[in-house]
Structure 1
Amino acid sequence: MSTAQKTKTSYADIKDVTLTDFLDVEAERSLVAHELWKEQATIVIAIRRPGCQFCREEARIFDAQRQIIENDMGIKMACIVHEKEGADIFQKEFWHGKVYHDQNKDFYKALGNGRLRTGGWEQMARPSFWGNLIRNKKSGVKGNFEGDGSILGGLLLVQKGDQGIAYEHIEKVWGDIAHADRVLEAASRVSGVAINKEKVAQAQKEHQALHDKMQASPLAAGKGQEHTQEESGSGSACALPTEQIQQQQQQQQ
């Protein structure tokens, strides 16, 4: 039975996107996106940049849930990148699963209702960004500056066949990663497999603790004005050099 929900992303816009299977294969091959979930529901994470510290953090979080999601619930997981640079390291060290290339960025356009959503250095003015950075620093996951990290991504839980999208998380700010507990709950609804409520409660508790820490930090106390535009500016990095962090700290204090 379908558990499709009303989402901003249209299923019609993602199902025929052309992807390339290019890692750990003898020869690259093209496939249509709906082949991913033809036989079983699939969680698809469209990341901004393989070297991005936030993207790597998100990959590690869901890779840690692979046993529950793939083996217990029978739901596949896959990542999509819009550039190949650094994808091999991302897969081997943080994801340990399938990664597909979206050369035309059509999946990313679908997440923005037909347009690419981008974010540049102006995102540093958003209090929520600094909260995300605090969370990431605590995780210990590091990144680099290789590639273009300006294109915003997201996460979709797509049901088997053509039953539609059951859950979505659309990235609006650098580091705005999906909540593992919410994704697990959605996966449970789709699969019909009950999840360990204690694990979900612990995930919620940890997220709330990080949120509280962010709110108490001078880096994200809301002294700057939140931007209202989702798309703006240009920029290629989603990891910050130390001098940029120090300068922003001084401005916020």
Structure 2
Amino acid sequence: MLMSISSRIKTKYSDIRDVTLVDFLDVSTETSFPSYELWKYQPTIIIVIRRPGCQFCREEAKIFHENRQIIEENLGMKIVCIVHEKEGSDIFQKEFWHGKVYFDPEKGFYKAFGGGRMRTGSWEQMLRPTFWRNLVRNKRSGVKGNFVGDGHILGGLFVVQSNDGGIAYEHIERVWGDITHADKVLEACSRVTGVQLSKDTVSKAQQDHDKLYNKMQQSSYAKGDQDQNKARE
């Protein structure tokens, strides 16, 4: 089963194994470590964030935070976020993610998606119908963002098996707001861990994905970021 998953992976495991990461939030002293330490003892979901203030990235973080109990307790996996810039990461963590966030100073994970070359998206993406569908979805979610930082670098998501088992699932962001579906990630995690999830559990994860706006409409940061965006216009 794992072989059938891995056969569709384009990113080389060697490109993400030894990326230097920095633990910098909620610690007294910043520490660096090789990325392999993340999944050395347990399989890990790694969300590679395009920009901490990005409304789509915040939406994605909120989606997977809502499934944290299933991922960490039911499946016994770890889930973390990676950023390539520190600015805004504290708000991203406290208001939207509520978990570990690591800094990738050399942008190793971002380059890995492009086979060692950085993948970026320009404003021409706004001409694509997919972008506008993503934007409508985001507006319905109620998750707001700002324009602080570099949002051109594209991100994605990995499910990495423990030890050197390799990448079991990947989602490569091709258009801004191209968020992978929670049910697909959970199905991949179930295959990796061998823990069977009920169809109702997987279905509910996707339903919660689609109903985020019910929990986000009254966010203090959502309102604050909206005011900030208006001030910048």
- With over 3 angstroms needed to count, the CA separation of the structure-2 counterparts of 1:26 and 1:33, relative to structure 1, is same
What is the match of residue 183 of structure 1? 185
What is the match of residue 168 of structure 2? 166
Structure 2 residue 28 is the aligned partner of structure 1 residue 26: yes
Amino acid at match of 2:130: S
Amino acid at match of 1:95: W
- How does the TM-score come out when normalised to structure 2? 0.86
Structure 2 residue 135 is the aligned partner of structure 1 residue 133: yes
Superposed displacement of residue 107, structure 1: 1.0
Alpha-carbon separation, structure 1, partners of 2:58 and 2:159: 19
Unpaired runs of at least 5, structure 2: 212-228
Q: In the TM superposition, what are the counterparts of 1:33-52 in structure 2 within 5 Å?
A: 33-52=35-54
What is the match of residue 98 of structure 2? 96
What is the match of residue 228 of structure 1? none
Alpha-carbon separation, structure 1, partners of 2:104 and 2:33: 10
- With over 3 angstroms needed to count, the CA separation of the structure-2 counterparts of 1:37 and 1:89, relative to structure 1, is same
- % of aligned pairs identical? 67
> What is the DSSP-based 3-state SS (H/G/I as helix, E as strand, rest coil) of the residue aligned with 1:74?
coil
Structure 2 residue 183 is the aligned partner of structure 1 residue 157: no
Deviating more after overlay: 195-204 vs 13-22: 195-204
> What is the DSSP-based 3-state SS (H/G/I as helix, E as strand, rest coil) of the residue aligned with 1:107?
helix
Judge conservation of contact 2:39–2:162 (CA < 8 Å) in 1: yes
> What is the DSSP-based 3-state SS (H/G/I as helix, E as strand, rest coil) of the residue aligned with 1:36?
helix
Q: Larger radius of gyration, structure 1 or 2?
A: 1
Judge conservation of contact 1:188–1:195 (CA < 8 Å) in 2: yes
> What is the DSSP-based 3-state SS (H/G/I as helix, E as strand, rest coil) of the residue aligned with 2:6?
coil
Q: CA RMSD in A?
A: 1.9
Superposed displacement of residue 199, structure 1: 3.1
Alpha-carbon separation, structure 2, partners of 1:46 and 1:208: 21
- With over 3 angstroms needed to count, the CA separation of the structure-2 counterparts of 1:73 and 1:130, relative to structure 1, is same
- How does the TM-score come out when normalised to structure 1? 0.79
What is the match of residue 60 of structure 1? 62
Unpaired runs of at least 5, structure 1: 210-240, 243-253
Alpha-carbon separation, structure 2, partners of 1:182 and 1:40: 20
Q: In the TM superposition, what are the counterparts of 1:69-108 in structure 2 within 5 Å?
A: 69-108=71-110
- With over 3 angstroms needed to count, the CA separation of the structure-2 counterparts of 1:207 and 1:41, relative to structure 1, is closer
> What is the DSSP-based 3-state SS (H/G/I as helix, E as strand, rest coil) of the residue aligned with 2:47?
strand
> What is the DSSP-based 3-state SS (H/G/I as helix, E as strand, rest coil) of the residue aligned with 2:39?
coil
- With over 3 angstroms needed to count, the CA separation of the structure-2 counterparts of 1:204 and 1:50, relative to structure 1, is closer
